[in-house]
Chain A
Amino acid sequence: MIAKQTAKNLEQLLQTARPVDLLRNQQTGPNVYPGVPAEYTNWRDEQQAWQKTCVLFNQSYHMADLAVEGPDALKLLSGLSMNSFKNFAVNRAKQFVPCSPDGYVIGDVILFYLAENRFNLVGRAPALNWVTYHVQTGKYDVKVELDQRSALRSDGRRKSYRFQIQGPLAMKVIEKILGKPPPELKFFNMTPLTIAGKTVRALRHGMAGQPGWELFGPWDDGEAVREAVFRAGEEFGLRLVGGRAYSSNALESGWIPSPLPAVYTGNAMKAYREWLPATGYEASASIGGSFYADNVEDYYFTPWDMGYGGFAKFDHDFIGREALEKMSNGPRRKKVTLALNDEDVTRTIGSTFQKHNRAKFIDWPSAVYSMHPFDRVTVDGKTIGVSTWIGYTANDGKMLTLAVLDADYAEPGTEVIFVWGEENGGSAKPTVERHTQVHMRAIVSPAPYVEVVRKAYAPGGWRSMQA
């Protein structure tokens, strides 16, 4: 038996404990949103600004970047992605959702096509690790370079800055900065701009049904660009968004940030597990919540679970194709938003002030307490799905969660039970105080939750497909 401390890779680490026990009892601690203050003003007003005026998200710190370059880069990436690369061209971006050979999601990041043979991946580590593995073990003429997220470095620098300007007045701010109407740009298309004398790449993005832009460039230009955006935004009520509000924006846009990388099981993934370190993301990721399954595969998502089924194009060869082709005709679960019952949430919060039977603390605005939240959703005592991201939005005055439910129960308006807190007083994760599980009623609602978002977000993207 190998001791945890001496395990040299993920495969060895998994021989010391069952994956579910390891992940549910991780000692990693809170998932830090680094670099950015908790609040610039206050999280309530910061949330409302992205619906009412405009916001600046500073995304320069919390995600990892992987530069992928070389003559075989496109071939490599296409072979790992269910998306078709047919119409993929320089100055476009794509959601990149690599799957395991069994057809389960490994990660979900953004892929930027920066130049001929030059790409950049931005997001959580698992998809980036998967790409790096294939570069190092396969026969590709490709080089990768990782730029680690700020929480894992001490030099206070990154390769690039990354800002988003979002909200109904976002384009007005951009127009003010540019001194002319901004160029028409399709969703996920890029264009070069000049801001504060610096060359900036802009990606057309959007949120809450309104166009917005993502801006990025060399790290040292960041302060000047940020300052220019902030000054231009003043008259439009632009707010900087702090770390507390930031992660709650996914609740409104309906994006699940936290699929569990489907790497812990299967012979086909064994070589990858031996390649992965015993201290990396996959080895230190935590699962939290009321959904307890013996088999870690019950925590995996298919692309359909996450609302990405429409991305799957069987016009090319890629890892997981066979499995996904089979799944494409099978029964599917569906991504929804759960709107928790106000009275039940209030009662849960009220229990915090009791001497006994206190529920798991609900933090505001994000109540997430692990890197991969999985809460049980039931009807008549039967588990009918899992819930992931959870938090409060001041825009709707609601506690919302993003859930994946059996199709039979996914109709908007269905009443379900959301189980909050872990079994037997809670797991050993540092973020978990002793508590009692509670049930809260919830109404199945569309994802994204905000009506206007569902109709107006990028035409043809997964957000409208879902509806």
Chain B
Amino acid sequence: MPEKNLEDMLKTRNPVEMLRNSQLGAYVYPVVPAEFTNWRDEQLAWRKTAVLFDQSHHMAEMMVTGPDAFKFMNYLTINSFANFPVNRAKQFVPCSHDGYVIGDGIIFHLAENQLNFVGRAPNVDWIQFHGETGKFNIKMERDDRSPSRPGGKPVTRRHYRYQVQGPNAWKILEKLNGGTIPEVKFFTMNAINIAGRKVRCLRHGMAGAPGLEVWGPYAEGEEIRAAILEAGKEFGIVAVGSRAYATNTLESGWIPSPLPAIYTGEKQKAFREWSKPDSYVATGSIAGSFVSNNIEDYYSTPYEMGYGGFIKFDHDFVGREALEKIKDKPHRHKVTFEWNTDDVAKIFRSFFDPGVENYKYIDLPLSNYGSASFDAVKKGSRTVGLSMFSGMTWNERLMLSLGVVDPDIKQGDVLTLVWGEENGGTKKTTVERHKQTEIRVKVAPVPYASEVRESYGGGWRLRQTA
């Protein structure tokens, strides 16, 4: 009998086995061309001049409207909504009843009783599930991410979504606007004139320089994009392709891919029954050397993701009780791992030795090979951390990864990252047969880039290093 939902599927499978051997394929950043110029120069541009990120395709959206919209969304996140007026945005961090993160994303308070969530699909599923099963007076409209393999067919979304970032971003935006843009606080919304249209925008920023996120009806996207690139020409704006795009987080320190903590626990059972066999949580993949029979060992708390400062026990929310219990305990903390370049070169050398087993291929600039990455990081024989998102930045000329380490691990410690999967590799389609190896990694601050650390928004990025 065909399985109807995730809970069904887990009756005969260990979730770790299932996710580590997922046949889903690569986690694709769809539709946007791989490179507009080349990923090296595209990475350099966000530090040196300005970039246009096209975020129109890789994230799902959930528009929540109605008298209970505000209350409903607050019920699903650790953050306080005490000071969350219209025209502000917040990082939205839903947790399971057991206090582990489902994921995170951005919610936009667009209007009275109207909030839009933008982020990975499991968060949208989680919102939808609670909206459908709870007693809230809301309406939900979901807009899924673009197909990973459109096969040359046209793609459409509800909104286009761009970011203009980098040291010259503000000059470009003011030129487009035809005058100064009032300085507003990070994550505050406003409007800007682009090509004769009034476009909504969110104050953002990168590497210490202010930038904006803009969005509007998808059909207007091409025109807005062309206007931004034209205005940005004299300031060296570069359109960023999908190969470089996802690596910007290695410098800014956000981990996009925690494992949604829903595979266990009685209280998550109803969600598992609601989740169809083709949903993210049922099809997504886990990649990497860290193996535990217990799927819960892959879960992350908001504390270790660096969101401890967001947690406010001033409202009732899913996971509150569990988080209250662990709030004063020692937590793992988020770090950047700086990979030893000789060890990285050794891996590339192995591809030229036919007959000798090769190591797992490192794709550049993004070397993840699943929806969520978990590589074991060891001190001697003890696993002291997990590496969760890896790649190269041309700005630092280094392989970096983001992850978490035990409380006693300090900056500057040299640890060992185990690269590749055990016994020749799992059955994921992204995994060629290979041999595991070790890479020395140095524990470094998060975010890695000093510019980001010193002047980004004022949220978790600052708290983390304080």
Question: Which one of B26, B352, B369 lies within 8 Å of A346 (CB-CB)?
Answer: B352
CB nearest to A347 among chain B residues: B345
Contact assessment for A430 and B37 in the assembled complex, using a CB-CB cutoff below 8 Å: yes
**Residue B349 CB within 8 A of the other chain:** yes
* B36 interface neighbour in A398, A430, A433, Cβ under 8 Å: A430
Residues of B within 8 A of A299 (CB): none
Contacts known (A40-B25, A41-B25, A44-B432); A433 close to B352, Cβ less than 8 A = no
A396 CB–B CB distance under 8 Å: yes
Query: Taking CB as reference atom, which chain A residue is nearest B429?
Result: A41
B152, A150: Cβ atoms closer than 8 Å: yes
For residue A259, give the distance in angstroms from its CB to the closest CB of chain B: 24
Stretch binding the partner chain, chosen from B58-66, B316-324, B391-399: B391-399
Min CB distance B39 to A, Å, is: 8
A42: contacting residue among B38, B345, B430, CB under 8 A: B430
Q: Which residue in A349, A364, A394 is a CB contact (below 8 Å) of B432?
A: A394
Known contacts A37-B149, A350-B341, A353-B341, A397 near B353 by CB under 8 Å: yes
**Cα-based distance from A396 to B352 in the complex (angstroms):** 8
Q: How far is the CB of B440 from the nearest CB of chain A, in Å?
A: 13
Q: Is A406 part of the contact surface with B, judged by Cβ < 8 Å?
A: no
A156 within 8 A of B: yes
Contact partners of A34 in chain B: CB under 8 A: 152
Evaluate contact between B353 and A358: CB separation under 8 angstroms: no
**A30 beta carbon closer than 8 Å to chain B:** yes
B454 sits at the interface (CB 8 A): no
**CB-CB < 8 A to A397: which residues of B?**
351-354, 358
Task: List the A side residues contacting B154 at CB < 8 Å.
Answer: 154, 156
Closest B residue to A345 by beta carbon equals B352
Query: Measured between alpha carbons, how far is A396 from B351 in the docked complex, in Å?
Result: 9
B10 proximal to A (CB < 8 A):
no
* A343 neighbours in B (Cβ, 8 Å): 349
Could you tell me the distance in whole angstroms from the C-beta of B115 to the nearest C-beta in chain A? 34
Binds A, one of B27-35, B91-99, B157-165, B179-187: B27-35
Which of B36, B354, B398 interacts with A29 by CB under 8 Å?
Answer: B36
Nearest-neighbour CB distance to chain B for A359, whole angstroms, equals 12
B148 is an interface residue with CB less than 8 A from chain A = yes
Contact call A353/B397, Cβ cutoff below 8 A: yes
Interface membership of chain A positions 150-177, coded 1 if the CB is closer than 8 angstroms to chain B and 0 otherwise: 1000101000000000000000000000
Whether the pair A42, B399 counts as a contact (CB closer than 8 A) is no
Known: A40-B25, A42-B361, A396-B354. A431 touches B397 (CB 8 A): no
A45 CB-CB contact with B under 8 Å: yes
Contacts of A61 in B (CB 8 A): 152
**Proximity string of chain A (349-388) to chain B, C-beta cutoff 8 Å, 1 when within and 0 when not:** 1101111001001011000010000000000000000000
The interface bits of chain B over 372-406 (1 if a CB of A lies within 8 angstroms of the residue's CB, else 0) are 00000000000000000000101001110000000
Rounded to whole angstroms, the CA-CA distance of A358 and B342 in the bound complex is 15
Bound Cα distance A430, B151 (Å): 26
CB-defined contacts of A399 to chain B, threshold 8 Å: 352
* B363 CB–A CB distance under 8 Å: yes
Q: Are B37 and A431 in contact (CB under 8 A)?
A: yes
Known: A150-B152, A364-B363. A353 touches B345 (CB 8 A): yes
Chain B residue with the shortest CB-CB distance to A45: B432
Q: Are A433 and B41 in contact (CB under 8 A)?
A: yes
Q: Which chain A positions have C-beta within 8 A of B38?
A: 30, 361, 369, 430-433
Proximity bits, B440-458, A CB within 8 Å = 1, else 0: 0000000000000000000
- Measured between beta carbons, the chain B residues less than 8 angstroms from A363 are 364
Listed residue (B34, B352, B358, B394) with the most chain A CB atoms within 10 angstroms of its CB: B352
- Judge whether B430 and A346 touch: CB under 8 Å: no
Determine if A394 and B351 form an interchain contact, defined as CB atoms under 8 angstroms apart: yes
Residue of B nearest to A58 (CB): B151
14 A-B pairs (CB sep. < 8 Å): A35-B152, A37-B148, A38-B26, A41-B430, A42-B429, A42-B430, A48-B432, A61-B152, A352-B392, A352-B397, A358-B397, A361-B364, A397-B353, A433-B44
CB neighbours (8 Å) of B153 from chain A are 156
Residue in B closest to A363 when the chains form the complex, CB atoms: B364
Chain A CB within 8 A of B414 CB: no
User: In the bound complex, do residue A398 and residue B35 qualify as a contact, i.e. CB atoms below 8 Å apart?
Assistant: no
Chain B residues near A36: list those with CB within 8 A. Answer: 151
Q: In whole angstroms, how far apart are the Cα atoms of A343 and B342 in the complex? A: 13
User: Is B151 a contact partner of A35 (Cβ separation < 8 A)?
Assistant: yes
Of all chain A residues, the one with the shortest Cβ separation from B41 is A433
- In the bound assembly, the distance between CA atoms of A430 and B244 in angstroms comes to 14
Contact A350 B34 (CB under 8 A): no
B352→A355 contact, CB < 8 A: no
Closest Cβ of chain B to A77, distance in Å, is 30
Count contacts on B: residues with CB < 8 A to the other chain: 42
Q: In the docked arrangement, what's the CA distance between A370 and B7, Å? A: 50
Chain A CB within 8 A of B348 CB: yes
Of A38, A353, A398, the contact of B344 (CB 8 Å cutoff): A353
User: Would you call B34 and A342 a contact (CB within 8 A)?
Assistant: no
B364 neighbours in A (Cβ, 8 Å): 352, 361, 363-364
In the complex, whether A57 has a CB less than 8 A from a CB of chain B is no
Question: How far is it, in angstroms, between the C-alpha of A458 and the C-alpha of B464 when the chains are bound?
Answer: 65
- Establish whether residues A29 and B345, one from each chain, have CB atoms under 8 Å apart when the complex forms: no
For the A-B complex with A42-B369, A156-B151, A361-B364 known, give 10 more contacts whose Cβ atoms are closer than 8 Å: A29-B37, A30-B34, A30-B36, A35-B151, A39-B26, A41-B430, A61-B152, A364-B364, A397-B358, A430-B37
Q: Determine how close the nearest CB of chain B comes to the CB of A127; give it in whole angstroms.
A: 24
Least distance between A233 CB and chain B CB atoms (Å): 15
- Asked if B435 is at the interface of the complex by the 8 Å CB criterion, the answer is no
Complex CA distance for A399 and B354, rounded to whole angstroms: 12
Q: A262 to nearest B CB, angstroms?
A: 29
Contacts of B315 in A (CB 8 A): none
Pairwise interchain contact A346-B34, C-beta atoms closer than 8 A: no
Residues of chain B with a CB closer than 8 A to A342's CB: 349, 352-353
In angstroms, Cα B392 to Cα A343, docked, is 22
Picked from B35, B345, B394, the residue with its CB within 8 Å of the CB of A350 is: B345
Using A30-B34, A39-B26, A346-B345 as known contacts, say yes or no to A44 and B397 having CB atoms under 8 A apart: no
State A350–B399 Cα separation when bound (angstroms). 12
**At the interface, yes or no: B139 with Cβ under 8 Å from chain A?**
no
| A391-405 vs B, Cβ < 8 Å mask (1 yes, 0 no) | 010101111000000
Closest chain B residue to A395, Cβ basis: B354
Given the contacts A350-B341, A353-B344, A38 and B397 also touching, CB distance less than 8 Å? no
User: What residues on B are CB-neighbors of A364 within 8 Å?
Assistant: 361, 363-364
A293 contacts partner chain B, Cβ-Cβ < 8 Å: no
Contact of A37 among B28, B348, B353 (CB under 8 A): B28
List which B6-47 residues lie within 8 A (CB) of chain A: 25-26, 28, 33-38, 40-41, 44
**Which residues from A are CB-within-8-Å of B36?**
29-30, 430
Q: When the two chains form their complex, are residues B33 and A32 in contact, meaning their CB atoms are under 8 A apart?
A: yes
Question: Which residues in chain B, 265-295, are within 8 Å of chain A measured between CB atoms?
Answer: none
Are B37 and A42 closer than 8 Å at their CB atoms? Answer: no
Chain A residues 319-354 with CB under 8 Å of chain B are 342-343, 345-346, 349-350, 352-354
Closest to A223 in B: B151
Mark A425-438 against chain B: 1 for CB-CB distance below 8 A, else 0: 00000111100000
